[in-house]
Structure 1
Amino acid sequence: MRKQIFLSSVLLLGAALTMSAAERGGRTVALAGVEYSVDTLFHAKVGPGTTETSLHLVNETGQQLRVFYLTTDLTNPNTSIEAIVAQDKVPGGATVSSMAKDHTVEGKNYFCGVNTDFFLTSGSASNGKSIVGAPVKASVAGGEIYRSGSASTSWPNIFVDRDGKMNIGAVSFAKGTVTVGEKTATLKAINNDAPDNGISIYTPKYYGTPNQPGLNGQCVTVPVTLEEGDYVGAGKTLKFKVCGATGTNGDCAINDGEYVLLARGSAQDVLSGLKVGDEVSAYVKVTIGDTEVFPTQLACGNPWILKAGEVLDSEGDRGDASARHPRTGIGYSTDNTKLVMMVIDGRSAISAGVHTQELAGMLYYAGADEAVNVDGGGSSTMYTEPLGVLNKTSDGHERAVASGLFVVANVPDDKTVAEVRFVDWAMNFPKYGIYTPKFYGYNKYGVLVDTDLQGVKLSCDKALGEIVNDGSTFYGTGEGMGALKATYNGIEAVLPVNVVASDDVAFRLKNIVIDNKREYPMEVQAVVNEKTMPINPVALTWTSENDGIATIGATDGVLRGVADGTTTITGKVGSFVGTANVSVEIPTGEVMPIAEYKDGEWKNSQFGGTDLVVSALENGVKINYTGNGTGRGAYIQLEKGCRVWSLPEKLRVRINPGNATVKKVSSTLTDAYGKVYSAWAFTTDELPKNTVSTLELKLSDNLDLTDIGVYPLTVNTLRLDMGASAKGQAFEILVPGFEAVYSAGGGSVAGIEAAQGVRVYPNPVKAGEAVTVEADGEANVQIFTLGGAVAAQAEINGTAAVSTEGLQAGMYLVRVTTTNGVSTAKLIVK
């Protein structure tokens, strides 16, 4: 089972990482009367005054939820909360991440946010332009009103006022005024359908037309301009100047840089008779009830789900409120010191989604007292600049949406690290676990500038464990609770660690195939916060049921084959006892047949010929058939699941096609993990007739042979793609070898070549001895621990030796970087 990370660990260690007021939650939360256990998977600072938290919830029926939320300190002087309307106009749409990236400039970084407004998903304006992506209701960004709500709407709006305070309420834009001389009318709408007996404003951000042809002949329109840089915003007095003749068309054009005023009913008299150069004054009044408000950033939600800390009965407020869906919610604390933006995934096996009351419950858990539900489903997206999109969107990719709400860092660009934090915020650590932590680096403003900070050194109390790998890795040999400390250029960080005997330990491989040359250090691992963590095999006591077949180092856990046969090996530490099945298979030579052909055990098929007969020949088969003249799609296929002996490095076909035209030779095979490699071609060139060709598949081209777990391999087919065979003519194809190829010396693995093509040998290598790395020209060689820390590195030119001094026994990753790219291989140190 997954290990919960309790806040008490942090508190006992002096709150090494702050987490707001225990997030009101702890280990359980009740959502709509159903109790869920809560497991914190991730909690980290992602920018100034802002953390991101990821939770895994599960109830007693096994129903799961994945919850992601951003918590922002609204008192932080370096941040502001700002909305973006996609494309900076009413229609269009864009992904949340692209909105943030496109609006980030020097000194203004939109570093995290979520989607907001519901939007139109189809349709065109009367001028033919698409209206897809337009917010359905009111939307304000950067102080500019992109769209007012409909006159009849009572949907709640969440907004930031001119004092930077968060608010929720049903906002009205219908109480402003428009004045021409002594005449005055009510300003009722902005970039929305024009209400009767009032004037509406249509801006350059709209559809290019008021889009109301039904009002033709029943309205007065007039094109106007504003002073450059001015815009329509709450509480503003606007000075328009008429720039064209009045008209009566509700779908007139809005020319570039111009606005259109449209009057209906009794308000038509105010605009009638205006001439070019005349001035029109407008006051934009926005209210909640009788109170004037001044939103600078606004999105429309529905329903209002959390009010004064109480979960509202909201599930009758919209049709889908009572159904389980992915959802996005935005809320804030009563004292206006905390903003919470939340996404809960849905429509998947690992997250069922929520209805609106459950969303409200989670927002309260995270510290909000007031909250609304905004657009959800496939639109639900949470983005941070340093970490990307955090949730798993139900579409499988980011959806283009109408708008987003973002936290903005208003600080100078600065890449200097002034603060260091562990990526993990606290840890229940399995005894004997090996942990190479990752670190985040922040500048003096709190901006996350390095998500993989190198050069950090660890230290800890000896009662907790040891520090190995040149200060980069913690080895949990002790027990109890303590602090794992990190230092970088005089900057310190602390991680609360509780080292306990773990009941979630397992061998990575339960079934192992090995020969008498290759050695395999047993891989032991534990799961912590859904992350797999290696356990040092040296910590276990090892035994083999039959040392005559396979031995295992009692103190180092290195498995070695002795003779053909099967046995089991056992590892014990504390209360954990693990066993693995071992099959020792020693090749009898460098080449062995893949399988013996026996009639009736194979399924043989053909197109492009008749009378197919297959019989055994040496290490392969003989194929006889009669041509029928068909060339298009012609093939011969032999099919059987053939388990390949031991640990081959190549497959080989020796073939003489006789007079037949063979255009391609391929096989399909499956590794021990069940991955299928279909139609893997030995060659795609036509074979020379009446000549023996030797063709090989280099298994490392597609398989990571450093992972012994890929064995055993199963070859499923041998397929020949043919050309036309003359009708009525007899053909004979000789395949004396369908074989597995092993390393010289009967199965030794002197050098293991990875799928990406770098050769490293000897492999395994004894700790402290040099390992040879083959590179193409000048190269940078880095040896990484499985936890991701650099354990050794060197600059080489061509083939050169790299020292393993200081490396402990275990598995490592070798990365070779040249001008041609990056190659990797696994390295075993014993």
Structure 2
Amino acid sequence: MKKIFSFLLSGVLSLFIYASGITIGGKTYAVDTIVHSHDIGPGTKYAFYDIPAYPLKFHVMEVDLTNPYVDIETCLSGDKAVATETPSSMSARNNRPGHEVLGATNGDFYQFQDPIEIGIPRSGQYRRGECVTNPVGRASFVLTPDRVPYIDRVNFAGTVRSGDNSHRLHAVNMQRLEWETETAPNFMLLYTNAYGTETHATTGGTKVMLHAKEGELFFGANKNIVCVVDSVFANPGISPIPEQRAVLYGVGTAETFLKSLSAGDELTVFLGTDLASTPGLLTDFKEQMGGSDHIILKNGVPADVWDEEHPRTCMGISQDKTKVYLMVVDGRRAGYSAGATLSVLGDLFLAIGAYDAVNLDGGGSSAMVINQQIVNRPSDNKERAVGNGVLVISKAPIDDVTARLEFEPIHYILPSYCRFIPQVTAYNQYGLIVNPDFKDYTLSCSPEIGYIDESNAFVAYGNPGHGTITATYNGISVTKDVTIQETDFAMRLDSVILDGYEEYPIEISAIIDDKEFVLNPSTPQWEVTDPEICGISNGVLSGLKNGVTTVTGKLDDFTGSLKVKVEIPQTHIQQADQFTSGWEL
């Protein structure tokens, strides 16, 4: 048999990474596509790329906002500001029928003083139209209620007004402004239900409890939110934040303003929120996810510089604002993936079709979850609990009817003589996965490359060649190209023990592109040294009598042998222990 060949799996047209490679810093690199771009839900694709010569591995989700059944949401760890949670946990917790989480990544940098403020997003966050924490002028991804994405720095100008008096509202659910220390002596903070059930334990100052004058208390962007004062009281430290209530806290001039209020007074809260480059363009913010103060691309041109290689999580948008790209780059793994600088990220985003892009939290926080499975390799060797995240959501109606089939999003390069059961995914009419490992299909194949056995598995012939396999269910079919390749065979085991009850199909394996395939055990010619000890039929062994013997198989220029020991128990079920002593829980 010939030695194993290595194949370069290049190019995914839907994400504009071509077989000619990708240019990074003026140098063109060959790209291996480990997982081809494929649907993971309505309007959403996922792909996994490798640049071996760099080395660099990166994962991409592409979201088509013209599809009415997909949406992007930000989420909050534990559904409160002071908390941390892994992205896969946030994904699972927010996943429900009619609101399926197709994919998720980590989000913003977050405060890390535990337990006082750990998890508070540092750059601000809007979630489903409501302010979770105030923006602070850092680079962000923004999505409007009418599903138009932007990437820009986001500014905040909050005010609280009572009659003719007003005061700056410095922060929402953010205990301090990292880059405005001079405002601390006169600080005003708004606690909402997004913060949690109680305030933090600061000392001094005055607090005011509020409720909405009409309807529910909802703190959206750029709206006059009219509230009524419940009570004014000296700060006792920790205070409750009841449902549909908010708490204003002030020191210095802010405390003086709050002390001028009385129960029953009306108060107007205004959360002025703007894109830094185009103030006044947006009147409302549905989602905001901040990151570092680095814009990777602006109008197709590299914007900021950060010349350190790290694992990265980032977001990009297309020029026509119809597509959003979520990217995670693995890093800090010698020989596997080095990580990326901002200029490298710019080249990657340009290659996949982005026009603007922003850097989110990276390093050990970088994680991507696809259909509840983490797909990258976090640099900490495990997922890190983080402050918030980004979710890609299916809003399609609940529908369990299979309408489309797809094979695995990889090349099918199979060894000769192999027995192969393909993985097939079933989708409903909206593009949502009904069953990721669908079994109820009927398989067929090109007759020149192999046949389908009685258990609906493809069995390859011994000659190299090209053909197709087809999976069919209820009149729905999918076809995939298959390449049959000669390669080396090896016995997976060198010895086995049989008990006379269970049979053993002899396992012969071949490896192509680091994937192991099992050959059809009936293909080789088998001989048993002592046929009284064990029998063989179509490559399946059965124990006949206690003893030891050898089984030898030959196929073309392959010869493999297996030591077989048969130990038949006196009864099929034997008591192993009386369980009367020596056991502890």
Bucket of the pairwise TM-score, normalised by the shorter protein: 0.7 to 0.9
**Structure 1 match to 2:274:** 287
**Structure 2 match to 1:276:** 263
CA contact (8 A) 1:436 1:472 kept: yes
Q: C-alpha separation between the residues in 2 aligned to 1:521 and 1:107? A: 44
Secondary structure of 2:154 counterpart: coil
**Structure 2 match to 1:372:** 358
Q: C-alpha separation between the residues in 1 aligned to 2:187 and 2:493? A: 77
CA-to-aligned-CA distance 1:148-184 (integer Å, 9 cap, x gap): 134xxx531112122212221111112x433222234
CA contact (8 A) 1:221 1:262 kept: yes
Q: C-alpha separation between the residues in 1 aligned to 2:31 and 2:510? A: 21
Q: C-alpha separation between the residues in 2 aligned to 1:414 and 1:29? A: 39
Q: C-alpha separation between the residues in 1 aligned to 2:400 and 2:554? A: 50
Secondary structure of 1:172 counterpart: strand
Residue 3 (structure 1) aligned with residue 7 (structure 2)? yes
CA-to-aligned-CA distance 1:125-154 (integer Å, 9 cap, x gap): 4xxxxx32222331221111111134xxx5
CA contact (8 A) 2:10 2:21 kept: no
Q: Following TM superposition, by how much is the alpha carbon of 1:240 offset from its aligned partner in structure 2, in angstroms?
A: 1.1
Q: Following TM superposition, by how much is the alpha carbon of 1:334 offset from its aligned partner in structure 2, in angstroms?
A: 1.9
**Structure 1 match to 2:395:** 410
Q: Following TM superposition, by how much is the alpha carbon of 1:117 offset from its aligned partner in structure 2, in angstroms?
A: 1.8
The amino acid of 2:16's aligned partner reads E
CA contact (8 A) 1:67 1:345 kept: yes
Match of residue 328, structure 2, among 327, 343, 360: 343
**Structure 1 match to 2:89:** 98
CA change 1:539–1:313 in 2 (3 A) is farther
**Structure 1 match to 2:226:** 239
CA-to-aligned-CA distance 1:526-555 (integer Å, 9 cap, x gap): 334543223346667x799x9999xxxxx9
Q: C-alpha separation between the residues in 2 aligned to 1:565 and 1:280? A: 90
Residue 68 (structure 1) aligned with residue 53 (structure 2)? no
**Structure 1 match to 2:534:** none
Match of residue 182, structure 1, among 139, 145, 164: 164
**Structure 2 match to 1:527:** 511
CA contact (8 A) 1:338 1:367 kept: no
CA contact (8 A) 2:69 2:396 kept: yes
CA change 1:236–1:22 in 2 (3 A) is closer
Residue 157 (structure 1) aligned with residue 150 (structure 2)? no
Residue 168 (structure 1) aligned with residue 151 (structure 2)? yes
Match of residue 333, structure 1, among 318, 338, 344: 318
Match of residue 29, structure 2, among 21, 27, 35: 35
The amino acid of 1:291's aligned partner reads P
Secondary structure of 2:437 counterpart: coil
Q: Following TM superposition, by how much is the alpha carbon of 1:564 offset from its aligned partner in structure 2, in angstroms?
A: 10
CA-to-aligned-CA distance 1:644-699 (integer Å, 9 cap, x gap): xx626499xxxxxxxxxxxxxxxxxxxxxxxxxxxxxx989999xxxxxxxxxxxx
Q: Following TM superposition, by how much is the alpha carbon of 1:419 offset from its aligned partner in structure 2, in angstroms?
A: 1.5
Match of residue 50, structure 1, among 41, 44, 55: 44
CA change 1:438–1:21 in 2 (3 A) is closer
Q: C-alpha separation between the residues in 1 aligned to 2:334 and 2:540? A: 38
CA contact (8 A) 1:3 1:428 kept: no
Q: C-alpha separation between the residues in 1 aligned to 2:6 and 2:493? A: 21
CA contact (8 A) 1:305 1:356 kept: no
Q: TM-score, normalised by structure 1?
A: 0.58
Q: Following TM superposition, by how much is the alpha carbon of 1:21 offset from its aligned partner in structure 2, in angstroms?
A: 2.8
**Structure 2 match to 1:209:** 199
CA contact (8 A) 1:4 1:529 kept: no
Q: C-alpha separation between the residues in 1 aligned to 2:57 and 2:568? A: 44
RCO higher in 1 or 2 (8 Å CA, sep ≥ 6)? 2
Q: C-alpha separation between the residues in 2 aligned to 1:519 and 1:260? A: 71
The amino acid of 2:173's aligned partner reads N
**Structure 2 match to 1:78:** 69
Secondary structure of 1:451 counterpart: strand
Secondary structure of 2:430 counterpart: coil
The amino acid of 1:508's aligned partner reads M
1:556-575 equivalences in 2 (<5 Å)? 571-572=555-556
Structure 1 gaps of 5+ residues are 8-18, 126-130, 317-321, 550-554, 585-645, 652-681, 688-720, 722-830
CA change 1:519–1:112 in 2 (3 A) is closer
How many corresponding residue pairs? Answer: 548
Secondary structure of 2:14 counterpart: helix
Residue 26 (structure 1) aligned with residue 19 (structure 2)? yes
1:660-699 equivalences in 2 (<5 Å)? none
CA contact (8 A) 2:14 2:37 kept: no
**Structure 2 match to 1:493:** 478
1:102-117 equivalences in 2 (<5 Å)? 102-117=93-108
Secondary structure of 1:97 counterpart: helix
1:368-767 equivalences in 2 (<5 Å)? 368-385=354-371, 388-469=373-454, 471-473=456-458, 475=460, 480-497=465-482, 499-503=483-487, 505-509=488-492, 523-528=507-512, 530-536=514-520, 571-572=555-556, 577-578=557-558, 580=560, 582=561, 647=565, 649=567
Q: C-alpha separation between the residues in 2 aligned to 1:233 and 1:110? A: 24
Residue 122 (structure 1) aligned with residue 40 (structure 2)? no
The amino acid of 2:279's aligned partner reads T
The amino acid of 1:48's aligned partner reads P
- Largest Rg, 1 or 2: 1
Q: Following TM superposition, by how much is the alpha carbon of 1:244 offset from its aligned partner in structure 2, in angstroms?
A: 0.9
Q: C-alpha separation between the residues in 2 aligned to 1:458 and 1:568? A: 32
**Structure 1 match to 2:572:** none
Q: C-alpha separation between the residues in 1 aligned to 2:209 and 2:577? A: 71
Q: Following TM superposition, by how much is the alpha carbon of 1:28 offset from its aligned partner in structure 2, in angstroms?
A: 3.6
Q: C-alpha separation between the residues in 2 aligned to 1:411 and 1:474? A: 38
**Structure 1 match to 2:291:** 301
Residue 146 (structure 1) aligned with residue 132 (structure 2)? yes
CA contact (8 A) 1:44 1:425 kept: no
Q: C-alpha separation between the residues in 2 aligned to 1:54 and 1:278? A: 57
Structure 2 gaps of 5+ residues are 532-536, 570-575
Quick one: percent identity of the two aligned structures?
A: 27
Q: C-alpha separation between the residues in 2 aligned to 1:513 and 1:471? A: 27
Cα RMSD over matched residues? 4.1
Q: C-alpha separation between the residues in 1 aligned to 2:379 and 2:352? A: 23
CA change 1:267–1:133 in 2 (3 A) is closer
CA change 1:91–1:510 in 2 (3 A) is closer
